[in-house]
Every structure is written in structure tokens, then in C-alpha cells.
Structure 1
Amino acid sequence: MTKRLFIAIDLPELTRQLLTRLDPHIRGARWIDPAQMHLTLAFFGDVSDEIALALHERLSAIRFGAFFLPITGAGMFSAKGAPKIIWIGVGKAHPHLFQIHKRAHEAALAAGLEPELRPWHPHITIARCRDVAPQSLRKFLKANADLDAGMVRVEAFHLYSSKLTPAGPIHTRELTVQCSGGL
């Protein structure tokens, strides 16, 4: 049996509410359910139970200190010029965030998973787009280019399984790795 797995940092309720209130109601842009908003550290796709157990063990061994992470700016990812994802920026190349990302990938490799070769761009997905004209997003992106959504205290990261349903993904927390000190 397999599970669709990813590692993420959860966001505080106040941050999720603030990001939800940014919704400009652009036709074709589907805002993410606030309960689903998170910062993905790594996505693994379908993983066998055996490798999932090894990953669980390796991730549990990661030690890190708590830190604050700035939530700033807005942008979009596109495919062939068409907007696909509207996102909020995270971290401004924060070294502690990149260290956790690196350790999570090392744990995945040690558990037998293949590394993701694409560059990592830390972000919070706030909307998914279908048939949205790029010009309809310009006003929103310009207005939020310098967004300052405050700081998030990172004290843990989580391994989630994700089940895709017609109503959207259902995420189930499989593991929590707490910080071992820090701020």
C-alpha cells in the first residue's frame, strides 16, 4: 500500500485568516481553504508503507531550534504564460528554514526516496488558477508585492499524508517533529 506524503510547516490561525482576507475574488482563481494553508518543505508523492516507516524514523531524528520566519510579498507561478498558483513569500532565504529543508531531504534520501531535483522556492500557496488571464492578477500582485504578513514562530514541522478527493485534498498528520530548543 502507498501513501501520498509531504512535509510541511503549519501556519498559525491568525496568519491563515490574514491570508484568506487577501482574496480579490478573481474569476478562475480558487482560494485555498485556510485549514489547508501551509509551507511545504518537501513533497514525495506516493510512498510505500516500508519507506514511509523509514522516513518517519529518519525525520524523528532531526534536531533544530525554534526560529521566526517572515511572511512577505506575493507572486505567481505560471505554466506557458498562464497563471497556475498564487503564492505568498516566506523566509527571505532564511538560513534556518533552508537548514530544515536540507535535513528533511537528507532524511528522505536515507529512507530510500529519490530527491526532487527542481530548485526549492519556499512559499505558501493561497490560490490555484484555471483559465485566469495574467492581466487580471496584476492589480493584486502589485498591491501585495511588499506585503508584510508578520512573523511566524516555527517550533515544529509535520509529515502529512494527502488523499485527493473531488472536494479537494484531505491532509492527515502522520508525524510531528518538535524543535529541540532555540528562541
Structure 2
Amino acid sequence: MRVFVAIEISNNNIINAIKKFQKGVNIDAKPVELKNLHFTLQFLGEISEEITQKIIQSLKTIEFSSFDVNLKEIGVFPKPKFPRVIWIGTDEVGGNMLIRLSKKVEKMLEPLGFFSDKPFKPHITVFRIKKKIGDISGEMENYKMIDFGIQKVSNIKLKKSVLTTNGPIYSDLMEVTAKK
């Protein structure tokens, strides 16, 4: 099964602000479904049921305190002249807390053979772009300073992803709740 460790976006005000943003952007891109909005702390890929159980046991031992993340500003991977993903970033303090949490997850899963191939960059993907659409710098400039609101991070989830022609279907395999 295909799995990843994530923090879901659950604040309805943020979800509504993202929905408004997705409707307002005038580009040929596929918006991420609102119910699928999340930070990916670590993507683990295709793994067996046996390894999944070991991951669950490891993740159960992670301890962290809840914290707030301000979702703001828009970015593009790899760059606005050749966009593939449009994302929402975070404030510096909340972003650093997410980075620390992702490092805890990675450290916990290293003994099972999981390593991140690149440094974690706190972001939520809000659009995926399959075809070449050209430079979107001008369109993104309109949204550069947008503030979507504050998400409380109080749990992380191990999620299963099933890819379909209509997009991915996510389901929860387990949840770790913050200690306070």
C-alpha cells in the first residue's frame, strides 16, 4: 500500500479561504480537493502490511506538543515560469515547528529504512499542473501576501493513498495526538 505521514488541514475558515483562492485563480490547473489538504511530513511510498505495522508501532512513540501554524503566502514548484505545483506556505515560527516535527518522524522511521530524499519544506499543495501552461508569475503576484489563517497542529496521521483516475483517495491508518 502507498502511505505517508501527514498533518491534515481541519480549520474550516482556512478551508473556505483556500476554496475561495482556488476559485479565484485563473490558470489551467487541477485544484487539490479540500478534504485532501495536508502537510506531508514524510512520504513512505509503496510498502507491505508488515512494514506498515512496524511504522505504526514507531509512530506511536512520538511525543510532541500542539502548536499553531499560520498559513500564508503562495509559492510554486519548481518555479513560476514552469509551474507543476502551487502551494501555500507558513509563517516562520510555525514552519520551524513543522520542520522539527518532520525530523522527529524521520528519526523514528530511519531504523525501518526510511529516509527523506530532500529537506522538508512546510507547504500545502493546492493545485497540480499536468501540462505546460507557461509563466504564471503575474497571476501569482495577486496572491503573494494572502493570509489563510491559523491551523492548530494537535495530531499527525499515517495515511493510505489510493491513486484513481479522479485523483487520490486518502484514508487514515493511525493517529498520534499531541501530549498537551
Q: 1:41 Cα deviation (Å)?
A: 0.7
Q: 1:70 Cα deviation (Å)?
A: 1.2
| Partner Cα distance (2:87, 2:139) in 1 | 11
**2:2 aligned to which of 1, 4, 7:** 4
Query: Which residue does 1:39 correspond to in 2?
Result: 39
Q: 1:124 to 1:84 in 2, by over 3 A?
A: same
2:137 maps to a residue whose letter is R
Instruction: For 1:94-109, list aligned pairs within 5 A.
Output: 94-109=95-110
Instruction: For 1:116-155, list aligned pairs within 5 A.
Output: 116-135=116-135, 137-155=136-154
Query: Which residue does 1:14 correspond to in 2?
Result: 13
| Partner Cα distance (1:97, 1:78) in 2 | 21
| Partner Cα distance (1:138, 1:95) in 2 | 27
| Partner Cα distance (2:46, 2:16) in 1 | 31
**Number of residue pairs aligned between Structure 1 and Structure 2:** 177
Q: 1:89 Cα deviation (Å)?
A: 0.4
1:35 maps to a residue whose letter is K
After superposition, what is the alpha-carbon deviation per residue over 1:159-181, rounded to whole angstroms, capped at 9, x for unaligned? 10000011110001001100001
RMSD over aligned CA atoms reads: 1.8
Q: 1:109 to 1:125 in 2, by over 3 A?
A: same
**Which structure 1 residue ranges, 5 or more long, are not aligned?**
none
After superposition, what is the alpha-carbon deviation per residue over 1:9-42, rounded to whole angstroms, capped at 9, x for unaligned? 1112221121111023534211111011111111
SS in 1 for 2:47: strand
Query: Which structure 1 residue ranges, 4+ long, deviate > 3 Å from structure 2?
Result: 24-27
1:141 maps to a residue whose letter is M
| Partner Cα distance (2:134, 2:91) in 1 | 26
2:96 maps to a residue whose letter is P
Q: 1:59 Cα deviation (Å)?
A: 0.5
1:59 maps to a residue whose letter is L
SS in 2 for 1:172: strand
Q: 1:90 Cα deviation (Å)?
A: 2.2
Q: 1:67 to 1:146 in 2, by over 3 A?
A: same
Instruction: Determine if contact 1:28/1:132 at 8 Å carries over to the other structure.
Output: no
**Which structure 2 residue ranges, 5 or more long, are not aligned?**
none
TM-score with structure 1 setting the length: 0.89
